[in-house]
Structures are given as structure tokens and as C-alpha cells.
């Protein structure tokens, strides 16, 4: 129905919850600034991001990335 946007790059951050021992994937298109000291990307708040997954184990990372690609309609997701 919709074509994938091949020129749009979504940036993703993988965060780990130590208490639950699970991961969460946060993807956003509007990431433009870097931290001056560490050089890492500065992501907006989760409510302003384009895609936030639920908690999952590390074995399900590939599945979550394909779901994010389908949801965002892009095939360029860069993990930071």
C-alpha cells in the first residue's frame, strides 16, 4: 500500500532495564544533536519519538528491528 522511504534515516537507541533484565528499542527521525563530551546522539523524550517498543529479550532484537522498519516505513535504521 505504501512504499518504503529509502532516503529517510531513523536513529535507534537500545536501552537496558537492569531490574527487569530486558531491553527497549527507541527510534526517532528528529535526532540532530550530539553530546559534546561523549559524542553520542541526544534523543528526544520517548513521547516525541516515532517508535518505542515494549520490553523484550536480546534474542528478539532482530524481530523488533523488522517491526520498527515496517512501522516507520523505512529500511535505514542506525543503532547508536
> Per-10-residue mean pLDDT for the chain, 80 residues long?
70 94 94 90 90 94 93 90
pLDDT for the residue numbered 32 = 86
Instruction: Give the burial string for 48-71 (b: 16+ CB within 10 Å, else e).
Output: ebbbebeeeeeeeeeebbeebbee
Q: Are 79 and 34 in contact (CB under 8 A)?
A: no
pLDDT at residue 1, rounded to an integer: 54
pLDDT of residue 4: 61
Record the pTM: 0.82
Residue 77 is predicted with a pLDDT of 92
At residue 14, the pLDDT reads 94
Amino acid at each position: 500500500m505504501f512504499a518504503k522511504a529509502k532516503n529517510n534515516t531513523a536513529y535507534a537507541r537500545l536501552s537496558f532495564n537492569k531490574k527487569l533484565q530486558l531491553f527497549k528499542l527507541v527510534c526517532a527521525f528528529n535526532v540532530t544533536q550530539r553530546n559534546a563530551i561523549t559524542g553520542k546522539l541526544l534523543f528526544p523524550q520517548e513521547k516525541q519519538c516515532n517508535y518505542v517498543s515494549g520490553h523484550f529479550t536480546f534474542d528478539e532484537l532482530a524481530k523488533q528491528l523488522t517491526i520498527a522498519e515496517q512501522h516507520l516505513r523505512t529500511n535505514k535504521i542506525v543503532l547508536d
